[in-house]
Amino acid sequence: MNAIELKGLTKLYKKKPAINHVDLTVEKGEIYGFIGPNGSGKSTTIKSMLNFIYPDQGTATILGLDSVKEAKEIRKRTGYVSSDVRFYPNMTTLDVLKYVAEFHQLKNSKEQIDYFLERFDIDGQKKMSELSLGNKKKIAITAGILPNPELLILDEPTNGLDPLMQHRLFEELEKYNKNGMTIFLSSHDLNEIQQHAHRAAFIRQGEIITIQDIYKEKTLGKVITLIGDHIPLSLFEKMGAAILKHQGNETRLFYEGDLHEVLPLLGDPSIQDFTITNPELEDQFMALYEGGEVK
């Protein structure tokens, strides 16, 4: 059984598609990345598949359950952290977490809550109205993880978090994932998806444009950065290299062939310096789907 199955999911606003025939399958036990710029349809997809808003077409199945007919059961078994975090302003952070624990009838909740208060550096006595976006986000994430759901859906979870808290968050997510939790991670940050996801879907203007196996993609191709004036780039292109970016005297190429074949070109006297590195997800995306960026 898959954790998430979306088939032809479509949502229209003023007769224009916010998301258009989205097909997506997330296997149980995956950390699945959902990548796209702001306004690409990530949040609309999530809200549609969780039955927060009604899709105009298509179906969503969550943990084997129909998202419309069995929404109540789905909410018992899933956790969701919205990109837009809101709480009752007069509740303290501890009040919120105690309420979550009581609602889900959690055992040993005090021990768990105390752990997260320390782990995420949360002041349990502060009112929600006194907190910054980052601190509110830490409460929302803790509330999502605390019941240990089968499926955890995170919409831009690191917005507002400093680097230390981001690091601790992903340590927790990977720990829970190893214990069987499926995590659906929506983000515009390619780096965090590349570091932590198993697979990722790219969405643009409401449509899925590709799905990549992150682990396999890490083994494919190299990025060659060249420094120098008047470099014979056409020779590299004839070898199959794609220009990712050209600015000033620096050029970044994406090359998937045998490195031994391109190495002789690096001896050209016009090349002052070069580096060969593993590609970032963004490099592969631009090379394969955008045709690179030339400035």
Q: What is the CATH number of the domain that holds 259?
A: 3.30.70
Domain boundary among 185, 214, 243: 214
The string of pLDDT tens digits covering residues 182-211 is: 999 998 887 788 889 999 998 988 999 888
Give domain status of residue 295, yes or no.
no
Does the pLDDT value for residue 68 go beyond 90? Answer: yes
**End position of a domain, from candidates 214, 232, 265:** 214
Residue of higher predicted confidence among 161 and 285: 161
Query: Quick check: is 262 in a domain?
Result: yes
Q: Mark whether 24 and 146 lie in a shared domain.
A: yes
On whether the CB atoms of residues 160 and 137 are closer than 8 A, the answer is yes
Please give the structure tokens belonging to residue 176.
């829970």
- Is the confidence at residue 220, as pLDDT, over 90? no
Model's pTM, two decimal places? 0.79
Residue owning tokens 């702001």: 38
Query: How is residue 211 written in tokens?
Result: 């799905």
Has residue 275 got a pLDDT over 60? yes
Q: Same domain, yes or no, for 38 and 89? A: yes
| 235 in the same domain as 206 | no
201 and 249 assigned to the same domain: no
Using an 8 Å Cβ cutoff, are 122 and 138 in contact? yes
Per residue in 41-73, is it b (16+ CB within 10 Å) or e — as a string? bbbbbbbbbbbeeebeebebbbbebebeeeeee
Average pLDDT for 67-75: 94
What is the total residue count of the chain? 295
Does 190 fall in a domain?
yes
Give residue 216's pLDDT band: very low, low, confident or very high (50, 70, 90). Answer: low
User: Domain check: are 179 and 247 in the same one?
Assistant: no
Question: Residues 125, 194: one domain?
Answer: yes
d(CA 255, CA 233): 13
- Reduce the DSSP state of residue 47 to 3 states and report it: helix
Pair (113, 237) in one structural domain? no
Shared-domain flag, residues 19 and 112: yes
Do 210 and 226 have their domain in common? Answer: no
Residues 94 and 172 in one domain: yes
- What's the mean pLDDT in 255-279? 90
Q: Which domain holds residue 283?
A: 222-290
Same domain, 25 and 74: yes
Are 207 and 270 contained in the same domain? no
pLDDT in tens, 228-247: 999 999 999 999 998 988 88
In the chain, how many domains are there? 2
Of the residues 171, 189, 214, which one is the last residue of a structural domain?
214
Which two tokens mark 171?
């340590």
Per-residue pLDDT band for 120 (boundaries 50, 70, 90) equals very high
